[in-house]
Structure 1
Amino acid sequence: MRFPETQLKVEHLAEPQLEFAFGQQSPHPKDGLFLYGPLAKAKKTKEIRVGVVGTPEGLAHFRSWSRSLLRSVEVPPPGKGEKADRLHLANFPGLEEAFGISFDPDECSVLSIPLADIDRATRVTNLNEAVDQVASLYIDRVQKYLRNEEKAIDVWVLVLPEIVYERCRPESRRTGLPLVKGEFGKKQKFRADLPLLSGAGIIDQSGERIFEDVPDFHRRIKAEFLRIAPTQLVRETTLAPGAFLNKAGYPIRNTQDAATTAWNLATGLYYKTQPKPPWRLAEVRQGVCYIGMVYKSLPNDPDGHSCCAAQMFLNEGDGVVFRGANGPWKTGDREFHLKPRAARELMELVLETYIETHGAPPAELFIHGQTTFNDEEWQGFVAAVPAETNLVGVRIRSTGGETKLFRDGDYPVLRGTALLLDDQTAYLWSSGYVPQLDTYIGPETPNPLHITVLRSRFAKPNILTVLQDIMGLTKINYNSCNFNDGLPVTVRFARMVGDVLTMGSAKGEEKQPFKFYV
């Protein structure tokens, strides 16, 4: 049923509450952590084991930053034209006070890499080879540590000099940079171009993997560490912006204030070292499972195949990533669809883990995608789901400037505003003015998400229930400590997860905690 244009309904959804220690609730992660502590707060402070890899200068910046993390970090005084009560900012009370964890900066396992070695590797003519050499400097140091040391590491922090960020991404421009010759020539990017073994008449495939992967340091590291431990990548300029100034005496890049940086990185450290996340949604309906579908075209694949995966999130908030089969899933410019067998097998992986955790299948299973679901793949999903589980397919799309809703006042539309087009379709403003923060954190008038309930095995759920669920899923990004994201976690990290899974070193990792990917 579509409502007549003159009767379009506008609803406002309440801000989802988060749960912290002792069952206490707050809509803001920072408030909840400051007042109550993390969800699984222990009686004693937990010491986490941190390994750090970087240049000597980067390691020094990390130690200095870590010492400040162990005490309070205040937000800077308001600048010209800013309000004194900037409610979106909050002083950081200290790692132990907020999260109940700690570590000794002088007792971390420290692995040093000379900056000159990194600089030379970034100058290798072929970008694929350059990224491989830089990543190998970090990976080899960690692998050597794991072979020779008995001390286990909970999380590896990789401190990156700015040249890694500038020179080791797919879009890196190294114009004017003196390059050095590597093992392979500039144009050797495919298997057929690799050198023959001397006198053997066969292809030497020892280095072919680096040409199959996208030349991206971040993706490569995340893929390699899927079988090692969670990682936290951080730029030296993030830890010590005042140490990197331009000729005018200003920092070479704009960074968040020190307190916000501390909140975000501390949240990541907690999430990646503890069995449970720092908070969870307080009012999630029991027996509900959310899945975000991930598709990514495989680089340099002659058959045009794609990788598929599913991100599963439960009411506890934490997630698991399941890798599905590679195949010809791309059917249009932006459309991906699985064959029935691949859809069934991927869903079976998800359900097996859910049942192991809860002892029974979910009552409702929502699949969040950014495209439609065709008949073949939907039947594959249904074939894997127990008879008592209602399977619901929801499409979530970001919109551009074609749809705007204006509010009479100084600030944009309220976050949580929903424009209902019919009983299956709506626009949802997941970003907007937040009264609690007395601000809208964004550069322009916010754009809504376009939400459509496409399919359902049984009766379709109420559209307001679907929208409220999505609102909640915008608040469980544990790689930062923001009030909310603009996208639900089921969709927000789909591209990042796909980027990692298409790397050659990620092959064989069918199931891993979500924390390994962010």
Structure 2
Amino acid sequence: MKTNSRNTVMKLGKPSVSSEWFEEPPITFANGHEHIDPKVGIPLYGPASLGTSRHKNEVHIGFIGTGEGIEKAMRFYEACCDGVDGDDQHEPFPGCKADIGYRCELRMDDAFNEKITQIELSELLKIREGKQRFTETLELLVEKLRLITQEHEHPVDYVVVVVPPAIYDKCRVADYHQKDVGMVHRDLRRAFKARAMEYHKATQLIQERTMSADAVARDLDHKSERAWNLFNGLYFKVDGLPWGPAKLPPASCFVGVSFYRPLGSASTLRTSLVQAFDENGEGLVLRGHSFHWDEKKDGKTPHLTEEHAALLIDDVLTQYEKLRRQRPTRVVVHKSSRFDPAETSGFQSSLQKVSQCDLVALRPTSEIRLIRAGSYPALRGTSFNIADISFLYTTGYIPFLGRFPQGHVPSPLELADHIGDTSRSQLLREVLILTKMNWNSARMYGLMPITVRFSRLVGDILREVPEDATPHPKYKFYV
């Protein structure tokens, strides 16, 4: 009840509450086989692109690192190829050979590698000024990558940078003040990824410490978990498809829109970025247009103008058609903030070119939770509605695993905004499927759909790409 200023009692209606549970969606592997868990599907059937032109029977790997670091990394990869035991909480890694795991052979040879010498390392560490030390470290790694990709007789498919402890501790970040900009933060991994696009080679940065032969260390994941994540990422980055989403509508395009601040720019400048995925899980990254957004005047959350929103969707449709040789019939746009009227108008004006479209705002929330009877939290896949607001648990108890793997009280995603043609139930099912599309690991679950999951990571790499350079659209260069 509520009392107004004239002391009359107003009766508030009781909000309607409903719930349902979506079964764990399957994903596809070789020859169309389906399973819900990559760590079962890969050993049983092989990766989705097995038997296609995308599958490499041999993967040639080059390493950058100290002599000790390279040797340690090569031993680690070789040992993983033979398989890694699991335990009660970790599935075993099946290995990686012609007839097991990802069904490919790794080829490693000292002739593929470039060493960071002790002299080069000591020269870097002599540099006292942090910005210069960071820049010189970046240039050294980029030069080693150039030598591997352009001057070696043996072409490599994949380059692993084994980061020595000294570089990780002293050179991996730089924080410095820049006139008219303020504080600038740079990260070695992100900067190297941006520069590596020029050489069109997939890369993996990994700490030398991570190559521990121990099954378990205090600050490391279980060895089988490390093997799964490394090899799944490797297979994806050499153009393989570990698995694909099942039962997404054909000719669909799922678009994630977010923003970042370009490196060295004024605090009011923002640039939009897009992560777009088709119904097969093929992804691309596009940099949008820069615009000014003053938090003091315009609010903390950036929004596109009507013109920029329309141009962004036009770019997506053009790239989709170029890659797929057809225009999508359905486009779903995901954002983590609500759509303002100008954005909505701009998106919808360009989306008139497709048959169906949806604008969807998703955000994690801890304000509302379901309390489940018993010892475990809500099941992953649980959806509930309070009046016209929808929520979805993308983390939680997983019946197939028989456990709750996250280790913290799960929070649902809120469907904060929806404008479009698709039922909320279908949209939430699709979000659940898209949480399984993180090929940088081999987990069967995730909190956010892939359309927005890596938006900050991708933005941090794009901010290192100069405005006059065209960033590579392939998603594999950003993970």
Tell me what 2:139 maps to: 136
> Where in structure 2 are the equivalents of 1:46-445 lying within 5 Å?
46-76=57-87, 86=88, 88-96=89-97, 97-106=100-109, 109-115=112-118, 117-118=120-121, 120-122=123-125, 124-170=127-173, 189-190=177-178, 214-228=185-199, 229-240=201-212, 242=214, 251=217, 253-274=218-239, 276-302=240-266, 304-329=268-293, 332-400=298-366, 402-423=367-388, 425-445=389-409
Tell me what 1:492 maps to: 453
Shift of 1:513: 0.7
Residue type of the partner of 1:15?
Answer: E
> What whole-Å deviation, never above 9, does each CA across 1:406-447 have from its counterpart, x for those lacking one?
111121110011111345x31111000001101111222211
Contact 2:233/2:440 (8 A) holds in 1: yes
Q: 1:508 aligns with which of 451, 465, 469?
A: 469
Q: Distance in 2 between matches of 1:119 and 1:259?
A: 34
Alignment CA distance shift 1:491-1:119 (3 Å)? farther
Tell me what 1:37 maps to: 46
Percent identity reads 26
Structure 1: unaligned runs, 5 residues or longer:
77-85, 173-186, 194-210, 244-249
Shift of 1:383: 3.0
Residue type of the partner of 1:117?
Answer: E
Q: Distance in 1 between matches of 2:77 and 2:467?
A: 31
Residue type of the partner of 1:482?
Answer: R
Contact 2:261/2:267 (8 A) holds in 1: no
Structure 2: unaligned runs, 5 residues or longer:
1-11
Moved more, 474-483 or 290-299: 290-299
| Structure with higher strand content | 2
Residue type of the partner of 1:58?
Answer: G
Q: Distance in 1 between matches of 2:465 and 2:202?
A: 18
Contact 1:294/1:497 (8 A) holds in 2: no
Contact 1:241/1:255 (8 A) holds in 2: no
- Aligned-pair Cα RMSD in Å: 2.7
Shift of 1:358: 3.4
Moved more, 306-315 or 41-50: 41-50
Tell me what 2:7 maps to: none
Alignment CA distance shift 1:106-1:151 (3 Å)? closer
Q: Aligned to 2:291, what secondary structure does the other structure show?
A: coil
Contact 1:392/1:453 (8 A) holds in 2: no
Shift of 1:213: 6.3
Contact 1:307/1:327 (8 A) holds in 2: yes
Q: Aligned to 1:432, what secondary structure does the other structure show?
A: coil
Q: Aligned to 1:214, what secondary structure does the other structure show?
A: strand
Contact 1:220/1:505 (8 A) holds in 2: no
Residue type of the partner of 2:360?
Answer: V
Say how many residue pairs are matched: 461
Q: Distance in 2 between matches of 1:272 and 1:301?
A: 31
Tell me what 2:33 maps to: 24
Contact 2:465/2:471 (8 A) holds in 1: no
TM-score, length-scaled by structure 2: 0.89
Shift of 1:333: 4.9
> What whole-Å deviation, never above 9, does each CA across 1:92-126 have from its counterpart, x for those lacking one?
11112111111223366111002553355256333
Residue type of the partner of 2:204?
Answer: Q
Contact 1:157/1:232 (8 A) holds in 2: yes
Q: Is residue 7 from structure 1 mapped to residue 21 from structure 2 by the alignment?
A: no
Q: Distance in 2 between matches of 1:154 and 1:355?
A: 27
Q: Aligned to 2:292, what secondary structure does the other structure show?
A: coil
Contact 2:269/2:290 (8 A) holds in 1: yes
Contact 1:127/1:215 (8 A) holds in 2: no
Alignment CA distance shift 1:417-1:108 (3 Å)? farther
